[in-house]
Amino acid sequence: MSGRRHSLTLASPDATCAFAQALGSRLSAGDVLLLSGGVGAGKTHFARCLIRALLLTPEDVPSPTYTLVQTYPGTPCEIWHADLYRLSDPTEVIELGLTEAFESAIALVEWPDRLGDLTPSGAIALDFTPGAAEDTRHLSLTWSDPRWTTRLKGLTDD
């Protein structure tokens, strides 16, 4: 099956947060979200909103800039938040336990280009780009696994 694609405009940080929460509520174990876009594009903002909505108990959701991964107990399963910008070697992805988490947890990965061959084929890619106004972002979603077509039904307008 060939891939699918959808684009939307996020007019404010709140709009991004609302979309993240709506998508988050549909996720289950084994779902991997690849969050790409330049520095300040909104990847962490999106991930933070999504994770906060699924946390079993409220806690801070810091950017995993230096820790590379943060894990959270959530509903319906553990949530992994990774920022691979500072990854030194792709094999580190295995050492961090990320490849296992791709199977058993919900995983959100910033700078997913670092995954190389370890990129899960069933993942959905979310690419954030700046819009015309300071608080506007364009988000393009691409996937090939049909499960995402179901997940996104009613969330995106086609």
Ligand X SMILES: Nc1ncnc2c1ncn2[C@@H]1O[C@H](COP(=O)(O)OP(=O)(O)OP(=O)(O)O)[C@@H](O)[C@H]1O
> Which residues, 6 or more positions from 34, have their beta carbon under 8 angstroms from its beta carbon?
109, 112, 115, 119, 123, 124, 125, 126
Does residue 44 bind ligand X (CB under 6 A)?
Answer: yes
Q: Which one, 44 or 54, has the nearer CB to Mg ion? A: 44
- The residue within the footprint of ligand X, chosen from 39, 58, 89, 117 (CB under 6 A), is 39
The residue with its CB nearest to Mg ion is 44
Closest CB to Mg ion among residues 27, 82: 82
Question: Can you tell me the distance from the alpha carbon of 32 to that of 100, in angstroms, rounded to the nearest whole number?
Answer: 12
Single residue of 3, 40, 116, 146 touching ligand X by CB under 6 A: 40
- Residue 16 binding ligand X, by CB under 6 A: yes
Beta carbon nearer to ligand X, 36 or 142:
36
Helix axes 13-24, 43-54, angle to 10 degrees: 50
Among 44, 48, 49, 101, binds Mg ion (CB under 5 A): 44
Which lies closer to ligand X via its Cβ, residue 22 or residue 77? Answer: 22
Residue for token pair 């691979």: 84
The answer to whether 67 touches 144, Cβ cutoff 8 Å, is no
Minimum CB separation from ligand X for residue 108, in Å?
11
Q: Which residue do the tokens 């959701």 mark?
A: 61
Token pair for 128: 């954030």
Per CB under 6 A, 110 contacts ligand X: yes
Q: Binding of ligand X at residue 37 (CB under 6 A)? A: yes
| Closest CB 146 distance from ligand X, rounded Å | 28
Contact 142, 156 (CB under 8 A): no
